[in-house]
Amino acid sequence: MVAPSAAGWSGVVLAGLAASPMLGTVVFAADMATAAPNASIAGIEQALADQRYTVADLAGYYVARIGALNQHGPALRAIIEINPDWMGLAGDLDRSDRAARGPLFGVPVVLKDNIDTADRMHTAAGSLALLDSSPQRDAFIVRRLRAAGALILGKANLSEWAGQRSNYAAAGWSGRGGQTRNPYAPDRSPAGSSSGSAVAVAADMSAGAIGTDTGGSIAGPASVNGVVGMRPTLGLVSRSGIIPIAASYDTAGPLTRTVADAAALLTVIAGYDPDDPATARLKDRPPPDFRLALKADSLRGARIGVLRQYAGFNPAVDELFERVLATLRAQGAVLVDPVRISTKGKFEDDADFVEEYEFKDGIARYLATRRGPGPKDLAGLIAFNVEHAATEMPYFGQDEFIASQRSGPLTDRTYREALERTRRLAGPEGIDSALNKDHLDALIAPTGGPAPLIDYIAGSHGGGGGRFTELAAAAGYPRMTVPMGLVHGLPVGVTFVGTAWSDFKLIGFAYAYEQASHARRPPGQIPVE
């Protein structure tokens, strides 16, 4: 479903607001424009409890902003599809039993378009190839979100196939959704691949979002769009019902405006899923409530290693990074500066090789679960793109698809050896070695540079950075990206990395830094006409 025009939505939204069932007075759009902007999850919870507005009012506020900003005005194209049933779902939540309401009651959330929903929305990874088929059921994390009371408001645009189709793709472009744009400067890249999820949150088109990450697909968009993004430890969040790239690296995670909101979303989506063996550890050891990590003194006494080898690519970014380090010291952290990853540059090519092998296998397994016609394997996707080249390949081709199609089975010795090297060099001999050498709790480095211009010739390359985001991804370890300031009006982020299952600790560090720095600067207010 393509979102109606701004004018079309404004009429729908105003009608929905006027019919607000839970309040004794009419709630007008102007009132919501005062009550709802940049609302936190905790703030939404309190406002709904106090009956300051309803779920329908809040959802209508976001739909109005989507209508005005997504295809009109700055044409951010962050939302690929609005849930056609949002008004009915919001009304059902408003009429629900108060005693049975979950921890995300009424919170509008958008999902990256590679996360299955068995409703009237599509799940297509941004590709036209999957529009004639559909998932059989909600992804595991979607079932958890719905059970917690969240309103699935829509699907977010992305780099098509989560950036797996071509090395020369423009970040944030998909055949289905067009080009997502950075809300701080619409001619700038939103980064990939969870671009729409990050932009939707940054531009206040949703209270929160879920993205996915294989190498840097949460951290990059979080950094250049000025929001918080978390890649959890591999196995903390189920991947069942999510269109795969590489099972050894894939995970879903939250993109939000604050660390507290990320903790709230992660608490709901984390957990054991019998359909994802990576989560087996959680069967007998359920994850904690990550909101308990939100303590302003979490950095006191923490030993943080400074990875300067991943800095030095942009003087203005370096200047902001020095302010970050000063803030950490002021909050009581002990900095070990510098710390080195001795395996940097020794595993990244192997990680790319592993992705080629695993994508071919994983996408065939996934496509076999869908109902209806359409491609059933990677060869079918390649053929579809050739047949529909005018709409699917106007700017870049499918070189990664073709390389993956040429790969062998997962029993190949070359693949198994590459996977073993990647995990070992990024994890035990990379992150863990650096942590253990100086008895550190976490590592820190700039996430990357400010967003480059959108470029269909050079693709997504540019912006600067030392591939830091790939380190934790290759190891399967957690990372937390938070804003650290603006460079010429463009956001850049800083990333905390820890060992496996240190998610709780990283959230605490990120929260303490966020509360002390107040580094996030929202994009200039974009009014709804």
Residues forming the active site: 112, 193, 217
* Opening angle at CA 384, ends 217 and 75, nearest 5: 50
How far apart (Å, rounded) are the C-alpha atoms in residues 224 and 39? 21
Q: Which helix or strand (DSSP H or E) is residue 406 part of?
A: helix 399-406
- Residue holding tokens 């579809």? 384
Residues 6+ apart with CB under 8 A from 431: 341, 443, 471, 472, 475, 477, 497, 498, 499
Contact between residue 281 and residue 237 where contact means Cβ atoms under 8 Å apart: no
For residue 245, which phi and psi values (nearest 5 degrees)? -115, -65
Q: Which two tokens stand for residue 33?
A: 């424009």
Longest dimension (CA), the chain: 69
**Residue 336 in 3-state DSSP?**
strand
- Measured torsion, CA atoms of residues 426, 430, 435, 438, in degrees rounded to the nearest 10: -170
Complete DSSP assignment for 100-158? G--TTTT-EEEEETTB---SSS---TT-GGGTT-B-SS--HHHHHHHHTT-EEEEEE--
Cis peptide before 338 (omega within 30 of 0): yes
What one-character DSSP code corresponds to residue 525?
Answer: P
CB 158 within 8 A of CB 113: yes
* CA-based end-to-end distance of the chain: 23
Closest of 34, 518, 45, 446 to residue 261, by C-alpha:
45
Helices (H), ranges, 226-314: 259-269
Nearest-CA neighbor of 156 among 184, 121, 186, 119? 121
Asked whether 210 and 109 are in contact (CB, 8 A), the reply is: yes
The residue count of the chain comes to 529
Angle value at C-alpha 369, between 364 and 372, nearest 5 degrees: 105
What are the structure tokens assigned to 204, written together?
């206040």
User: Per residue, what are the HEC states of 438-493?
Assistant: CCCCEEEEECCCCCCECCCCCCCCCCCCCCCHHHHHHHCCCEEEEEEEEECCEEEE
Q: Name the pairing type of β-strands 208-213 and 108-112.
A: parallel
